[in-house]
Amino acid sequence: MSVFHDAERRLWLLRTPHSSYALRLDDGDCPRAVHWGAPLTLEQAAEIVAPAPRDISSFHGGPSDPELPAQTGASFGPASLQVRFADGAGGVEWRFDGHEIDGGHLRLRLADRHYPLAITLHYRVREDSDVIERWTELSHTGQGEPIEVQRCDSASWSPPRGTRLSHVVGAWSAENQLVREELPVGETVLTSRRGATSHQANPWLMLDDGTATEEQGEVWSAALAWSGSWRITVQRTPFDGVVFTGGAGHEGLRTHLGPGETWTSPVFSGLYGTAGFGGVSHAWHAHVLEHVLPHPQELRPIVYNSWEATWFDVNVDGQLALAKLAASAGAELFVLDDGWFGARVNDWAGLGDWTVNRDRFPQGLGQLIEGVHAYGMRFGLWVEPEMVNPDSDLYRAHPDWVIHMPNRTRTTMRNQLVLNFGRPDVAAWAHEWLDRLVSEHEIDFLKWDFNRSFTEGGWPDSGDPDRLWDAHVRNLYALLDRLRADHPHLRIEGCSGGGGRVDLGMLARVDEVWTSDNTDAVDRVSIQHGFTQVYPVRAMAAWVTDSPNPLTRRLVPLRFRFHVAMAGVLALGGNLTRWSQEELAEAADLVAQYRLIRPVVQHGVVHRLTPPDAPVVGVQYSLGEQVVVFAYRVNTRFGHAPWPLRLRGLDPEARYRDDDTGAEHSGAVLLAHGLPLDRLPRGDYASLVVRLTRM
């Protein structure tokens, strides 16, 4: 049993393997946090006596904070739930209506005392995960006027400590830059107002008391499963109380809940751990593999993607030439990127016209697909279904299909506009052509791109224009779910100009994600470091591209480029027709090496051995008896020999043999002293992969 109830004290306790979460109802039926942290029994949780703070501010922090602050009474913190009724009243006066426990799922049924609003708080725990999933359901249970919903977060969380905040910031081509900083007193907002998850921030956070390390210490973390705009507000009081609330949508949106309607928030999951940031990452990875990703046990194929080779200049002969080289380098799946359809010969035209460009592919896609198959690879195709160029037949026929506002300029970004997937006709159109495309061709893989943010976020004539932000994401999810169900062989790569739409909502519907448009191996080290804080390596696509890198113009040796990409889901993305015979041979050799370590990298436990800017960066993967260690030195400083890399998670009693050299190491020495890096080449851009097997 994982959910316990003390009816007399109106207390509930949820247990995960290594944590527990308790809440209770106060005298006014308001659900309040009691405990989030180490495992407690129901009896122990009952000892935590909290005042019923109906006359104090919600800035109080700590135990007894509302589970969903709703602007009731003397509550001045950021509200999780903001509603407005037709007579002008706002807030919620709670009434408890009962609860249900169904395995690990607790439903707490509440309602407003005076207005026809039912609020169900959901909690779900599982026996094999420390993640506690929480979400909220709102229902209009009456007749008459709609209820205005100004905000409805999925959950508010009250960790008992949390004066340091870890999260990621970034930009296009610079995603997932980890920031670990003292949480300021006041309110800190992490958000995206872009209609998508964003490159700038990502909807997860970790809190600790300033003492946690990669390996030790209590960490409270949370991640939101939502791929649209979002907001997480963290509040720290001068007395170190910490509360955070998060959910879909940015500030200022207003939607209406009509009589009989129910709205369900996305899931905002929390996870507590005592083994530092690394331990929390491991628990998130295990959870995502077990409960989020669609086919977690599969090994991701080695993709070749031709984007950085041919950009928009695609045609059947050029792609077949690349396919031949890619196959001989060891690629297993060939992806034709942008430029294969309509008038899409650059990014100015054709987006939305999803018919094969017959000038470029005179016999349709079939000729290329057959050629790719003949080279022993599967075939994948790029699509960007949610977008349209104004210069397209689609836009000329349906100018009203895009997200827009009356009397406002339709701002283009990358010369494109966003189709309003909230509209059922637009979603149906997209399903129709995608289903046809996948049915008529042997397509095993779609790269699903999304290359701009929402602007002029309106939906004229809908009567409820802000619904767009929610409806777009839900219809996108429904479309992906339906395509996958109807085409079970289909695998999907999520992409948004690189990593602009990576979150637990998207990871439930795609098999991997394109981590960043920045394929420079040096920049990738920190991007990958940030990515793995919550998301698993199994989903982190990493291409080896050309040198100089097309974006940064940095010259980086092939081996270093490979070694960085081999720490994720290795793929090739360079213009192989310009690679020398030696480079192609070295690439084939490195791809073959990756095949050997792929199960360990993709399914193992990842240990970030150093910060991403260490003189020698180390990353370790362990699976069963196998250990793989990557070491990277970008710049040599002073010519000193590198320190040994201390490994993690090994058996100190065991011995480990280096698969390449036969050298033997004791686990105790690898843990305490470290792995000698004498095989790391001298100089800049030096890298090394060490494979160890437990003897």
| Active-site residue set | 449, 517
Q: Could you tell me the smallest distance in angstroms from the CB atom of residue 667 to ligand DGJ? A: 41
Q: Could you tell me the smallest distance in angstroms from the CB atom of residue 450 to ligand DGJ? A: 9
| Count of Cβ atoms closer than 10 Å to residue 374 Cβ | 12
Interaction between residue 495 and ligand DGJ (CB under 6 A): yes
Residues of this chain, 445-484, that bind ligand DGJ according to CB under 6 A: 449, 451
The amino acid present at 450, given as its one-letter code, is: F
Identify the residue among 249, 350, 494, 497 touching ligand DGJ (CB under 6 A): 497
Q: Which of 301, 326, 328, 320 is nearest to 545 (CA)?
A: 326
The amino acid present at 500, given as its one-letter code, is: G
Q: Could you tell me the smallest distance in angstroms from the CB atom of residue 305 to ligand DGJ? A: 7
Identify the residue among 361, 514, 632, 656 touching ligand DGJ (CB under 6 A): 514
Of 352 and 498, the one with the shorter C-beta distance to ligand DGJ is 498
Q: Which of 479, 489, 481, 476 is nearest to 379 (CA)?
A: 489
Beta strand 387-388 with 303-305: parallel, antiparallel or unpaired?
A: unpaired
Q: Could you tell me the smallest distance in angstroms from the CB atom of residue 196 to ligand DGJ? A: 13
Of 249 and 498, the one with the shorter C-beta distance to ligand DGJ is 498
Interaction between residue 498 and ligand DGJ (CB under 6 A): yes
Of 465 and 500, the one with the shorter C-beta distance to ligand DGJ is 500
Instruction: Report the alpha-carbon distance of residue 301 to residue 571 in Å, rounded.
Output: 8
Q: Taking a C-beta distance cutoff of 8 angstroms, is the pair 302, 594 a contact?
A: yes
Instruction: Report the alpha-carbon distance of residue 240 to residue 236 in Å, rounded.
Output: 6
The amino acid present at 319, given as its one-letter code, is: Q
Judged by CB under 6 A, the stretch of 12-20, 322-330, 494-502, 631-639 that binds ligand DGJ is 494-502
| Count of Cβ atoms closer than 10 Å to residue 626 Cβ | 19
Q: Looking up tokens 């036969």, which residue turns up?
A: 662
Of 263 and 311, the one with the shorter C-beta distance to ligand DGJ is 311
> What are the structure tokens assigned to 80, written together?
């999780």
E strands within 301-348? Answer: 303-305, 333-336
Output the residue with the shortest Cβ distance to ligand DGJ. Answer: 338
Interaction between residue 543 and ligand DGJ (CB under 6 A): no
Q: Could you tell me the smallest distance in angstroms from the CB atom of residue 344 to ligand DGJ? A: 9
Interaction between residue 337 and ligand DGJ (CB under 6 A): yes
Residues of this chain, 300-329, that bind ligand DGJ according to CB under 6 A: 307
Q: Which of 21, 23, 19 is nearest to 6 (CA)?
A: 23
Instruction: Report the alpha-carbon distance of residue 370 to residue 374 in Å, rounded.
Output: 6
Angle at alpha carbon of residue 157, lines to 155 and 163, rounded to 5°:
145
Q: Taking a C-beta distance cutoff of 8 angstroms, is the pair 233, 245 a contact?
A: yes
Instruction: Report the alpha-carbon distance of residue 541 to residue 516 in Å, rounded.
Output: 9
Cis status of the peptide bond prior to 548, with omega within 30 of 0:
yes
Instruction: Report the alpha-carbon distance of residue 153 to residue 646 in Å, rounded.
Output: 42
Q: How many residues bind ligand DGJ (CB under 6 A)?
A: 11
Of 69 and 350, the one with the shorter C-beta distance to ligand DGJ is 350
Q: Could you tell me the smallest distance in angstroms from the CB atom of residue 681 to ligand DGJ? A: 31
Interaction between residue 517 and ligand DGJ (CB under 6 A): yes
Interaction between residue 382 and ligand DGJ (CB under 6 A): yes
* Per-residue three-class SS string for 621-675: EEECCEEEEEEEECCCCCCCCCCCECCCCCCCCCEEEECCCCCEEEHHHHHHCCE
Residues of this chain, 44-83, that bind ligand DGJ according to CB under 6 A: none
Instruction: Report the alpha-carbon distance of residue 378 to residue 491 in Å, rounded.
Output: 11
Q: Could you tell me the smallest distance in angstroms from the CB atom of residue 13 to ligand DGJ? A: 45
Q: Is 33 helix (H, G, I), strand (E, B) or coil?
A: strand
Residues 6+ apart with CB under 8 A from 188: 165, 233, 234, 235, 236
Instruction: Report the alpha-carbon distance of residue 340 to residue 319 in Å, rounded.
Output: 11
Of 307 and 630, the one with the shorter C-beta distance to ligand DGJ is 307
Q: Could you tell me the smallest distance in angstroms from the CB atom of residue 61 to ligand DGJ? A: 41
Judged by CB under 6 A, the stretch of 184-192, 217-225, 455-463, 492-500 that binds ligand DGJ is 492-500
Q: Could you tell me the smallest distance in angstroms from the CB atom of residue 488 to ligand DGJ? A: 25
Instruction: Report the alpha-carbon distance of residue 269 to residue 283 in Å, rounded.
Output: 12
Instruction: Report the alpha-carbon distance of residue 336 to residue 371 in Å, rounded.
Output: 13
Q: Taking a C-beta distance cutoff of 8 angstroms, is the pair 111, 262 a contact?
A: no
Q: Is 118 helix (H, G, I), strand (E, B) or coil?
A: strand
Judged by CB under 6 A, the stretch of 107-115, 141-149, 473-481, 493-501 that binds ligand DGJ is 493-501
Residues 6+ apart with CB under 8 A from 441: 365, 366, 369, 379, 381
Helices (H) and strands (E) in the chain, counts: 13, 37
Interaction between residue 520 and ligand DGJ (CB under 6 A): no
Identify the residue among 130, 133, 218, 338 touching ligand DGJ (CB under 6 A): 338
Q: Looking up tokens 């180390």, which residue turns up?
A: 618
Q: Taking a C-beta distance cutoff of 8 angstroms, is the pair 636, 682 a contact?
A: yes
| Count of Cβ atoms closer than 10 Å to residue 625 Cβ | 13
Check the CA dihedral 181-69-161-274 and report its sign.
negative
Interaction between residue 503 and ligand DGJ (CB under 6 A): no
Interaction between residue 352 and ligand DGJ (CB under 6 A): no
Q: Taking a C-beta distance cutoff of 8 angstroms, is the pair 168, 203 a contact?
A: no
Judged by CB under 6 A, the stretch of 7-15, 40-48, 221-229, 490-498 that binds ligand DGJ is 490-498
Instruction: Report the alpha-carbon distance of residue 425 to residue 394 in Å, rounded.
Output: 13
Binding site for ligand DGJ (CB under 6 A): 307, 337-338, 382, 449, 451, 495, 497-498, 514, 517
